Amino acid sequence: MTPRVDPARVVDASLNVGTEVAEVVVDLIRLPRRLLRMVDSTEALLARADLLMNQAERSLEHTEGLVPLIKQVDRLGPDVAELLRVTDEVRRAVLGIPGVGMLWRRGGTAPAPAGAPEGSDQPAR
């Protein structure tokens, strides 16, 4: 005996399958547009990544040039302190030369007293 087929069930099943097929077809139709958008955004991302890599490479080149200078910064403080000490000694020695006070006055400024802080030279009176 052959099983009896209910025509209403066959129609419902066919409609359900047809609806599912239509949804898949619509998705397949939209897929190329989505892929094109993805390709466009991927191209833009790759262009930005390339630009970023070029900038990073330039920054690295600049940094490599600065590294030797940065390594010498720790010596800068003692060197500047020594330079200031020697400059003060030279200033005191020059002030000890006879006639220097008169030359300072002629130049428009008087020398600061021996114990005065730097930059306190007073205008001549």
Residue 124 gets which letter from DSSP? P
pLDDT at residue 86 is higher than 90 = yes
77 or 30, which is more confident: 30
8-40 tens-digit pLDDT: 888 888 888 888 888 888 888 888 888 888 888
pLDDT on residue 115: 60
Cα separation values, 7 from 3, 12, 17, 20, 28, Å = 12, 9, 15, 20, 31
pLDDT on residue 123: 43
Of 84, 115, 111, 87, which is closest to residue 97 (Cα–Cα)?
A: 111
pLDDT on residue 122: 46
Average confidence score pLDDT of the chain:
79
pLDDT at residue 117 is higher than 60 = no
> What contacts 109, CB < 8 A, 6 or more positions away?
121, 122, 123, 124
Q: Which of 49-53, 56-60, 96-100, 106-110 has the lowest mean pLDDT?
A: 106-110
63-73 tens-digit pLDDT: 887 777 777 77
